[in-house]
Amino acid sequence: MTRWFKWLGKGSIRFCLPLMAAWASVAILYSNLPAAIRPWAACIFAVGSLVALIGRYSTPRVRLGFLAAFAVVLVYWLLMPPSNDRDWQPDLATLAWADIAGDKVTVHNIRNCDYRTETDFTVRHYDRTFDLSRLKGVDFFLVYWGSPKIAHTMMSFDFEGQGNVCFSIETRKEKGEDYSTVKGFFRQYEIIYVVADERDLVRLRTNYREKGKGEDVYLYRLKASPEVCRKVFLSYLGEANRLKERPKWYNALTGNCTTSIRQHTMPYSPNARLDWRLVVNGYIDEMLYERKFIDTSLPFSELKKRSYINPRAQAADKAPDFSKLIREGIPGINGKR
């Protein structure tokens, strides 16, 4: 048994060390070192790691040296500071924040871009005061852009007579910067809470994104009491206010659109246990259905079919009652089945 444990321990170490070397090499490549230095530094670290871990030079002392070098890279990576002061894309340049006074909440810099195409738009913002006593519901958007396994998630809060305010947790990109899943693991993007009306966030995805990207949007009404809706809404605004003062890094695994939603909803959910669908979040609506957090009066396949809003959003387009029109026929809203 002792021999078996020794063999298992050595095997684990031999498996983990190359992974650590690969991670550190990529971390150097995507660090904030000068651009001309990064590829060379990453290459030198990768080659040095191979020498230290494989072949005749791989002695205990050399491997210890590798661990010391890895620790230096890890500490440097952890100390890389996020920033609110970069040359941001125009639609991500202005941060939303809120004043909260009892039941009255004034949200500043609600985004409402006027889109002509996905990339041609005029950025507009406005302020609006909401009465928390009129918060009657919260809706969950699931947005697919390719694989059915991964989706973007958004939350929208419905204030009776005052409209909807929608939150999309995204990467805050600089001008000329595109999203990369790999970079999303290596502190390349700050996180931003985009606070906008649905004619911006939803219509961008249903009406203006390139058709070849396959953006399909589903809308579900969440089962939550007004008290819980209020607490979650204030939690979102609290984080938006904190990000205005102290930026944070986006992380594609631990700090993304879905894990951040869980952060805001977990304290008020009686079934807030971990689930693999929080990572492979294209199936998160199935999880919500199983836990009865969305309407269950229909079979799930039928519910999903009726929750698909692209045709309604495309028909509504610039209508002032866009939010009302995209909800027509959605099960669970206004008692509909």
Q: Is 3 exposed, middle or buried (0-12, 13-18, 19+ CB in 10 A)?
A: exposed
**Per-residue model confidence as pLDDT tens digits over 149-169:** 889 999 999 999 999 999 999
Read off the DSSP letter of residue 214: -
**Per-residue model confidence as pLDDT tens digits over 217-275:** 999 999 999 999 999 999 999 999 999 999 999 998 887 877 777 788 776 676 667 77
The answer to whether 285 touches 142, Cβ cutoff 8 Å, is: yes
pTM across the whole model: 0.89
The answer to whether 304 touches 310, Cβ cutoff 8 Å, is: no
Tokens standing for residue 59: 């002695």
The answer to whether 273 touches 204, Cβ cutoff 8 Å, is: no
Q: What is the mean pLDDT of the chain?
A: 89
